[in-house]
Amino acid sequence: MDWKLEVVTVPVSDVDRAKTFYVDQAGFNADYDERPMEGIRFVQLTPPGSGCSIAIGEGLTEAPPGTAAELMLVVSDIQAAHNQLKDKGVDVSDVEIQDWGQFVYFSDPDGNKWAVQQLPPRETSS
**Residue numbers of the domain that contains 75:** 7-118
Kindly state whether residue 125 falls inside one of the protein's structural domains.
no
The tally of domains found in the chain comes to 1
Q: Are the C-beta atoms of 67 and 20 separated by less than 8 Å?
A: no
Which CATH number fits the domain that encloses residue 105? 3.10.180.10
Mean pLDDT, 10 residues at a time, the chain of 126 residues: 95 98 98 97 97 97 95 97 98 96 98 96 72
Kindly state whether residue 76 falls inside one of the protein's structural domains.
yes
Q: Are the C-beta atoms of 96 and 103 separated by less than 8 Å?
A: yes
Kindly state whether residue 126 falls inside one of the protein's structural domains.
no
**Res 125: pLDDT:** 65
Kindly state whether residue 17 falls inside one of the protein's structural domains.
yes
**Res 118: pLDDT:** 97
Kindly state whether residue 124 falls inside one of the protein's structural domains.
no
